[in-house]
Amino acid sequence: MILSKLFQKPQCVIQKSLYSTIGSFQAPLHISNEPIKPFNGDSSDISKLQEALTKYQFKSLEVPLIINGQKIYKDRVLKNHINPSNHSQILCKYAQATKEDVNEAILAATASKAKWAKMSLDERAAVFLKAADLITTKYRYDLLAATMLGQGKNVYQAEIDCIGELADFFRFNVKYAFEMYKQQPVASSPGVWNRTEYRPLEGFVYAVSPFNFTAIAGNLFGAPALLGNTVLWKPSATAILSNYLLMEIMIEAGLPNGVVNFIPGNPVEVTETILSNKNFAALHFTGSTKVFKDLCKEIYSKDHFREYPRIVGETGGKNFHLVHPSASLEHTVLSTLRGAFEYQGQKCSATSRLYLPESISSEFIQLLKENVKKIKTENCSINIKGFMGPVIHEQSFDKLAKAIGEAKEDSELEIVSGGYFNKSNGFFVEPTIIKTTNPHHKFLQQEFFGPILTYYVYPDSEFEAICNIIEQNSTYGLTGSIFSQDREAVIFASDKLKYSAGNFYINDKSTGAVVGQQSFGGSRQSGTCDKAGSASLLSRFVSVRSIKENFVEITDFKYPHND
Ligand SMILES: NC(=O)c1ccc[n+]([C@@H]2O[C@H](COP(=O)([O-])OP(=O)(O)OC[C@H]3O[C@@H](n4cnc5c(N)ncnc54)[C@H](O)[C@@H]3O)[C@@H](O)[C@H]2O)c1
Ligand SMILES: N[C@@H](CCC=O)C(=O)O
């Protein structure tokens, strides 16, 4: 159907602008962070959530591809999205895109581009503001349930993700886009008028999203689309349920057909087809460092693209908590527990390495162990009050079990708490604390992406030396925290660790960036540091054009100095 449209006889008529603004608009003034529900007693919230959880557990949904607004399911290879808390439960079956589907999606993105790009920002923004309102009202409990069931989150982790952060991304991106459009030349010479245009990129954007945050998936397709780009979105195989629901919400919010095309599928095959098209203009990726590096290599190996592709990637982390002897003990212990074990350590920002001064290390670890022992790994969709659920899939479970097995054999490592795992029902790994005597040990450098916290004890007198060691071992550069009541120590660490963390926290845990408050991202092996939740990220998806209009006509080619 789309192919025939594309090859109709071209009509060189000046297409009457369908959209013209007769007003200069601004983003709604009330844009602020979405309030987070505490789920600590309001029975109506909890009963609505439980109703949604029941609905989605037994819905056995069929998830189609969505290309040019058309749902495609029939005759496609189907895969299961299972519940990681109860892996015998299939949450949905989803269609896998074929090569032909991907090419259809490219045609749809190409065909819908002109109209979407020609819409004024306020028209495009309205779709995302509407979506944010649908997310935080009509579909709030559905999205929570889908994220809890499909990605193994407890209700609080789901609430800060698929409700708070997702709505914040959509709303604050609108605010940032209007502010960006307002950035105009600061001068025009006499008889000249200079303007700046923020064109969308000339081709289509490829969005590739991770399993662990529904919000990140929304931002990966949403930020480019808001600016007039059209997108092919490949979701993670272990986030299908929530991601499909989000796509449905976007359609209800008025997203025109073809602007975002939902194409789950074999990531290698989907990518290969996309990168073979010259109109590929940008990769918007979040995921592991290895995958991102492979994608970059593949993109750089090709020279057929019409424009230099923009590559925006947020990847792995090995985030530190550095504790100074002056730190407030209980606050630091509890912050470390949250940073390391909330969402089972499956945050790119999770605290996975800890540096303790000798003078407080025993008391610190004792208090940490006492609190960790209160944590039960369980199905947090059944026990709404649960703290810790499963890891996302068997591959992750086996990787973590292997690491724990290695720790038991390594003379430089000692498991001081946890070390247990069981995948008979769900992929459950206990919160595990490991001590190392080697400040350069690989357990202090390698990302496990699970509930494993490794710590090293340093002599109190060697605070500066440990800062140097942390800097030296920071192949990643995502997040990090200093806990200290000593201002000079904070200043020293902040300076010495300037490039060890793109998000640097003082007396707070290494997770939990909030859109509009701490834009998120890091450099080194953690990504391109384009800072999700900021105007700088949006700038990566526009192709700026400078316009100079001259009102004065010349009457001679000579310049004043010519004779
Ligand atoms: N820096 C950040 O903001 C951030 C946020 C979330 C997750 N992460 C990182 O992501 C990882 C966890 O997420 P994950 O397990 O979903 O990551 P992943 O790299 O396994 O998958 C991410 C996406 O890449 C796709 N993919 C996998 N192999 C591919 C290939 N060869 N070609 C094209 N696409 C491919 C997957 O299908 C998925 O959609 C961790 O390393 C974590 O640190 C980083
Ligand atoms: N932005 C989130 C982490 C996202 C990666 O997984 C945080 O700051 O905790």
Amino acid at the residue 279 = N
Q: Which of 213, 117, 229, 218 lies closest to 172, judged by CA?
A: 218
Cα–Cα distance list, 68 to 12, 108, 231, 257, 330 (Å): 25, 5, 11, 5, 54
Interatomic CA distance for residues 146 and 242, integer angstroms: 5
In a mutational test of the pocket of ligand 1, which residue from 96, 165, 166, 208 has the highest number of ligand atoms less than 8 Å from its CB?
208
For position 29, what pLDDT does the model report?
87
Q: Look at residue 14 and tell me whether its pLDDT is greater than 60.
A: no
For position 58, what pLDDT does the model report?
84
Determine the 3-state secondary structure of 504 from DSSP.
Answer: strand
Ligand 1 atom closest to residue 287's alpha carbon, by position in its atom list: 10
Ligand 2 atom closest to residue 511's alpha carbon, by position in its atom list: 9
The H-or-E segment that residue 331 falls in is helix 329-341
Give me the DSSP letters along 374-387: T--B--TTTSTT-S
Longest dimension (CA), the chain: 92
The encoded tokens of residue 139 equal 């579909």
CB 320 within 8 A of CB 287: no
User: Which ligand has the minimum distance to the alpha carbon of residue 275?
Assistant: 1
**Model confidence band, residue 1 (pLDDT cutoffs 50, 70, 90):** very low
Q: Distance, CA 458 to ligand 1 centroid (Å)? A: 34
Average pLDDT of 306-318?
98
Average pLDDT of 364-389?
98
Q: Look at residue 127 and tell me whether its pLDDT is greater than 90.
A: yes
Ligand 2 atom closest to residue 513's alpha carbon, by position in its atom list: 8
* Residues present in the chain in total: 563
Interatomic CA distance for residues 287 and 475, integer angstroms: 16
The per-residue pLDDT for range 263-303, each reduced to its tens digit, is 999 999 999 999 999 999 999 999 999 999 999 999 999 99
In a mutational test of the pocket of ligand 1, which residue from 96, 157, 212 has the highest number of ligand atoms less than 8 Å from its CB?
212
In a mutational test of the pocket of ligand 2, which residue from 33, 169, 216 has the highest number of ligand atoms less than 8 Å from its CB?
216
Interatomic CA distance for residues 104 and 108, integer angstroms: 6
Interatomic CA distance for residues 67 and 1, integer angstroms: 12
Q: Distance, CA 285 to ligand 2 centroid (Å)? A: 14
Interatomic CA distance for residues 383 and 426, integer angstroms: 14
- Please enumerate in sequence order all residues whose Cβ is within 8 A of that of 563, keeping only pairs 6 or more positions apart, or say none: none
Interatomic CA distance for residues 214 and 225, integer angstroms: 17
Q: Distance, CA 210 to ligand 1 centroid (Å)? A: 5
CB 478 within 8 A of CB 351: no
CB 18 within 8 A of CB 118: yes
For position 162, what pLDDT does the model report?
99
Q: Which residues of 335-361 are buried (b: 16+ CB within 10 A; e: fewer)?
A: bbbbbbbbbbbbbbbbbbbbbbbeebb
Query: Could you report the predicted ipTM of this complex, rounded to two decimals?
Result: 0.98
Among protein residues, the one whose CA lies closest to atom 10 of ligand 1? 287
Q: Look at residue 4 and tell me whether its pLDDT is greater than 90.
A: no
Residue with tokens 């670890």: 365
Among protein residues, the one whose CA lies closest to atom 33 of ligand 1? 267
In a mutational test of the pocket of ligand 2, which residue from 160, 220, 335, 511 has the highest number of ligand atoms less than 8 Å from its CB?
511
CB 135 within 8 A of CB 67: no
User: Which ligand has the minimum distance to the alpha carbon of residue 343?
Assistant: 2
Interatomic CA distance for residues 312 and 284, integer angstroms: 5
Among protein residues, the one whose CA lies closest to atom 44 of ligand 1? 315
Give me the DSSP letters along 69-104: TEEE-TTS-EEEEEETTEEEEEEEEEEPP-HHHHHH
Q: Distance, CA 54 to ligand 2 centroid (Å)? A: 28
Q: Distance, CA 537 to ligand 2 centroid (Å)? A: 16
The per-residue pLDDT for range 226-262, each reduced to its tens digit, is 999 999 999 999 999 999 999 999 999 999 999 999 9
pTM of the model: 0.96
Q: Which residues of 462-475 are buried (b: 16+ CB within 10 A; e: fewer)?
A: ebeebbebbeebbe
12 catalytic residue (yes or no): no
The encoded tokens of residue 257 equal 């057909």
Range with lowest mean pLDDT among 25-29, 190-194, 368-372: 25-29
Average pLDDT of 185-205?
98
Among protein residues, the one whose CA lies closest to atom 7 of ligand 2? 512
The encoded tokens of residue 220 equal 């990966």
Interatomic CA distance for residues 113 and 2, integer angstroms: 13
In the chain, what is the straight-line distance between the N-terminal and C-terminal CA atoms, in Å?
Answer: 66
Determine the 3-state secondary structure of 369 from DSSP.
Answer: helix
For position 20, what pLDDT does the model report?
61
Ligand 2 atom closest to residue 212's alpha carbon, by position in its atom list: 6
What phi, psi does 120 have (nearest 5°)? -75, 160
The per-residue pLDDT for range 501-527, each reduced to its tens digit, is 999 999 999 999 999 999 999 999 999
User: Which ligand has the minimum distance to the alpha carbon of residue 298?
Assistant: 1
Among protein residues, the one whose CA lies closest to atom 35 of ligand 1? 267
Burial category of 279 from C-beta neighbours within 10 Å (exposed 0-12, middle 13-18, buried 19 and up): middle
User: Which ligand has the minimum distance to the alpha carbon of residue 528?
Assistant: 1
Determine the 3-state secondary structure of 254 from DSSP.
Answer: coil
The H-or-E segment that residue 169 falls in is helix 166-181
What phi, psi does 320 have (nearest 5°)? -110, 150
**Model confidence band, residue 12 (pLDDT cutoffs 50, 70, 90):** very low
In a mutational test of the pocket of ligand 2, which residue from 153, 213, 346 has the highest number of ligand atoms less than 8 Å from its CB?
213
Structural domains in the chain plus CATH codes: 44-315+527-547 (3.40.605.10), 319-506 (3.40.309.10)
The H-or-E segment that residue 314 falls in is strand 310-314
Give the pocket of ligand 2 (CB within 6 Å).
212-213, 347-349, 511-513, 520
CB 369 within 8 A of CB 340: no
Ligand 1 atom closest to residue 210's alpha carbon, by position in its atom list: 16
Amino acid at the residue 396 = S
Q: Distance, CA 249 to ligand 2 centroid (Å)? A: 23
Cα–Cα distance list, 505 to 317, 424, 479, 512 (Å): 15, 38, 8, 10
Q: Distance, CA 274 to ligand 1 centroid (Å)? A: 18
Ligand 1 atom closest to residue 271's alpha carbon, by position in its atom list: 33
- Please enumerate in sequence order all residues whose Cβ is within 8 A of that of 317, keeping only pairs 6 or more positions apart, or say none: 348, 349, 350, 352, 447, 476, 478, 479, 522, 526
The per-residue pLDDT for range 402-450, each reduced to its tens digit, is 999 999 999 999 999 999 999 999 999 999 999 999 999 999 999 999 9
For position 382, what pLDDT does the model report?
97
Q: Distance, CA 70 to ligand 2 centroid (Å)? A: 33
Amino acid at the residue 109 = A
Q: Look at residue 87 and tell me whether its pLDDT is greater than 70.
A: yes
For position 268, what pLDDT does the model report?
98
User: Which ligand has the minimum distance to the alpha carbon of residue 515?
Assistant: 2
Q: Look at residue 125 and tell me whether its pLDDT is greater than 90.
A: yes
For position 19, what pLDDT does the model report?
57
Show the 3-state SS of 9-23.
Answer: CCCCCCCCCCCCCCC
Strand 204-208 vs strand 280-286: parallel, antiparallel, or unpaired? parallel
Q: Distance, CA 280 to ligand 1 centroid (Å)? A: 20
The encoded tokens of residue 205 equal 């954007």
How many percent of the chain have pLDDT more than 90? 94
The per-residue pLDDT for range 16-73, each reduced to its tens digit, is 445 566 888 999 988 999 999 999 977 899 999 999 999 999 887 999 999 999 999 9
Helix, strand and coil percent figures for the chain, each rounded to 5: 40, 20, 40
Active-site option among 314, 342, 430, 447: 314
Residue with tokens 């700038």: 539
Active-site option among 34, 104, 159, 348: 348
Among protein residues, the one whose CA lies closest to atom 41 of ligand 1? 288
Interatomic CA distance for residues 305 and 302, integer angstroms: 7
